[in-house]
Homo-oligomer: A and B are copies of this chain.
């Protein structure tokens, strides 16, 4: 909500996909393809959705989300960290919306992939404290778990990534502290357009 308000104030056009409110379907199944299958003997989700995308026969919820991505310059993914990753409902968005032909194409993955002029930002809350997510901490450097999301998904599709925005353990801090966290986020959003994307190399994650 802070992000929508702040970005709107700046004159940005903001589109929200509230996945839970939409009861977004996370499961990748045959239902994502309208009409006949390309290969009716062996069902291969990747092949079938690629072909359905070409024919314009993906299910309407996917077409809808792809339009939003197409029109966006910046994608902000806001979520609570669940098991070192995004919640299943958001993972389902990645699995189902980022279809071959729409989001990537072989062999031009990574830098020259189909969504190459877009930016993404992962904004999330954690259960554990910041100390647990350090190199010597029990959960390891927080960057380790950003690799599959930022590199494996976004960079793969050509999307450049801004530094993540992480609120550590908001459940366990005072109301005061939580307000500060929101304020800091609003503050960052004011000058987001000035930020440079992070370096795409493995060194950013594992140095």
Contact A202:B140 (CB < 8 A) given known A27-B26, A44-B171, A147-B145: yes
Q: How far is the CB of A156 from chain B (nearest CB, A)?
A: 8
CB-based contact A83/B26 at 8 Å: no
**A187 lies within 8 A of chain B by Cβ:** no
What is the CA–CA distance of A206 and B202 in the complex, to the nearest angstrom? Answer: 11
What is the CA–CA distance of A95 and B86 in the complex, to the nearest angstrom? Answer: 10
Within 8 A of B (CB), among A69-87: 82-85, 87
CB-based contact B145/A152 at 8 Å: yes
Q: How many copies of the shown chain assemble into the complex?
A: 2
CB-based contact A148/B95 at 8 Å: no
CB-based contact B89/A88 at 8 Å: yes
CB-based contact A95/B84 at 8 Å: no
What is the CA–CA distance of A206 and B141 in the complex, to the nearest angstrom? Answer: 11
1/0 contact trace for A114-140 toward B, CB 8 Å?
000000000000010000000100111
| A83 CB contact (under 8 Å) in B29, B88, B135, B148 | B148
**A160 lies within 8 A of chain B by Cβ:** no
CB-based contact A95/B83 at 8 Å: yes
CB-based contact A147/B84 at 8 Å: yes
Q: How far is the CB of A199 from chain B (nearest CB, A)?
A: 14
CB-based contact A140/B145 at 8 Å: no
Q: Which of A87, A91, A109, A171 has the most CB of B within 10 A?
A: A91
**A110 lies within 8 A of chain B by Cβ:** yes
**A46 lies within 8 A of chain B by Cβ:** yes
CB-based contact B144/A140 at 8 Å: no
> Which residues of chain B come closer than 8 Å to A144, judged between CB atoms?
144, 147-148, 202, 205-206
Q: Top 9 closest A-B pairs, CB basis?
A: A84-B152, A88-B92, A84-B148, A26-B88, A88-B91, A26-B26, A88-B88, A91-B91, A83-B153
A residues at B contact (CB < 8 Å) = 20, 23, 26-29, 44, 46, 82-85, 87-89, 91-92, 94-96, 98, 109-110, 127, 135, 138-140, 144-145, 147-149, 151-153, 156, 171, 202, 205-206
